[in-house]
Amino acid sequence: MPMPFSSIRHQLFIDGRFVDAESGETLATLNPHDNTPIAHVALAGKADVDKAVAAAKRAFPAWRRMAAADRGRILLKLADLIEANGEELARLESLDTGHPIRDSRRLDVPRTAACFRYFGGMADKFQGETIPVEEGFLNYTLREPVGIVGQVVPWNFPLMFTSWKMAPALAAGNCIVMKPAEITPLSSLRIAELMAEAGLPPGVVNMLPGLGSVAGQYIAEHPEIAKIAFTGSTATGRRIVQASAGNLKKVQLELGGKGPNIVFEDANLQAAVNGSAWAIFHNQGQACIAGSRLMLHEKIADAFLEQFIPLARSIRLGNPLDEQTEMGPLTSAQHRDRVLSYVEVAQAQGGEVLAGGGSPGGDLAQGCYVQPTVVHARSYQDRVAQEEVFGPFVTVLTFKSDEEAMQIANGTDYGLGSGLWTRDLQRAHKVARDLHAGMVWINSYKRVNPGSPFGGVGQSGYGREMGFDAMREYTQVKSVWVNVDAQIPPHFVR
Ligand code: TAP
- For residue 306, pLDDT over 80 is answered with yes
Residue pLDDT, tens place only, 22-42: 999 999 999 999 999 999 999
- For residue 201, pLDDT over 80 is answered with yes
- Domain-embedded: residue 318: yes
Q: Do 249 and 125 sit in the same domain of this protein?
A: yes
Q: Do 339 and 323 sit in the same domain of this protein?
A: yes
> Taking the CB of residue 60, how many other CB atoms lie within 10 A of it?
18
Close Cβ partners of 309 (under 8 Å, ≥ 6 residues apart): 354, 355, 374
Residue pLDDT, tens place only, 123-165: 999 999 999 999 999 999 999 999 999 999 999 999 999 999 9
Q: Do 265 and 249 sit in the same domain of this protein?
A: no
Q: Do 223 and 354 sit in the same domain of this protein?
A: no
- Domain-embedded: residue 453: no
Question: E strand or H helix at 251, and its extent?
Answer: strand 250-254
What percent of the chain has a predicted confidence (pLDDT) above 90?
A: 96
- Domain-embedded: residue 95: yes
Q: Do 428 and 284 sit in the same domain of this protein?
A: yes
**Can you give the CATH number for the domain in which 74 is found?**
3.40.605.10
pLDDT given for residue 1 in this prediction: 47
**Can you give the CATH number for the domain in which 314 is found?**
3.40.309.10
SS3 277: helix
Q: Do 151 and 267 sit in the same domain of this protein?
A: no
Residue pLDDT, tens place only, 95-126: 999 999 999 999 999 999 999 999 999 999 99
- For residue 5, pLDDT over 70 is answered with no
Which of 93, 221, 254, 465 is an active site residue? 254
- Domain-embedded: residue 457: no
pLDDT given for residue 3 in this prediction: 55
- For residue 179, pLDDT over 90 is answered with yes
Q: Which residues on adjacent β-strands are paired with residue 207?
A: 13, 178
Which parts of 177-233 fold into alpha helices (H)?
186-198, 217-221
Ligand 1 centroid, distance to 256 Cα (angstroms): 10
**Residue 152 in contact with ligand 1 by CB distance below 6 A:** yes
Domain that holds residue 402: 260-442
User: 393 pLDDT band (50/70/90 cuts)?
Assistant: very high
How confident is the model over 438-465, as a mean pLDDT?
A: 98
- Domain-embedded: residue 78: yes
Average pLDDT over the chain reads 97
Q: Do 235 and 312 sit in the same domain of this protein?
A: no
Whose CA is closest to atom 40 on ligand 1? 288
The CA-based diameter of the chain, rounded to the nearest angstrom, is: 92
pLDDT given for residue 7 in this prediction: 65
| Total tally of structural domains belonging to the chain | 2
Which one is predicted more confidently, 490 or 435?
Answer: 435
Q: Do 232 and 333 sit in the same domain of this protein?
A: no
Whose CA is closest to atom 38 on ligand 1? 232
Q: Do 77 and 149 sit in the same domain of this protein?
A: yes
**Residue 291 has what DSSP assignment?**
-
How confident is the model over 33-55, as a mean pLDDT?
A: 97
Q: Do 27 and 81 sit in the same domain of this protein?
A: yes
- Domain-embedded: residue 313: yes
- For residue 247, pLDDT over 60 is answered with yes
Residue pLDDT, tens place only, 332-341: 999 999 999 9
Q: Which residues on adjacent β-strands are paired with residue 293?
A: 260, 395
Say what angle helices 186-198 and 68-84 make with each other, to 10 degrees.
130
Is 288 an active-site residue? yes
Q: Do 208 and 226 sit in the same domain of this protein?
A: yes
Name residue 356's amino acid. G
| Test site for ligand 1: of 233, 342, 345, most ligand atoms within 8 A of the Cβ | 233
- Domain-embedded: residue 455: no
- For residue 170, pLDDT over 80 is answered with yes
- Domain-embedded: residue 292: yes
User: 293 pLDDT band (50/70/90 cuts)?
Assistant: very high
- For residue 207, pLDDT over 60 is answered with yes
Ligand 1 centroid, distance to 64 Cα (angstroms): 30
CB 386 within 8 A of CB 351: no
Q: Could you give the CA distance from residue 491 to residue 76 in angstroms, rounded to a whole number? A: 53
Q: Do 248 and 267 sit in the same domain of this protein?
A: no
Residue 383 exposed, middle or buried by CB count within 10 Å (0-12, 13-18, 19+): middle
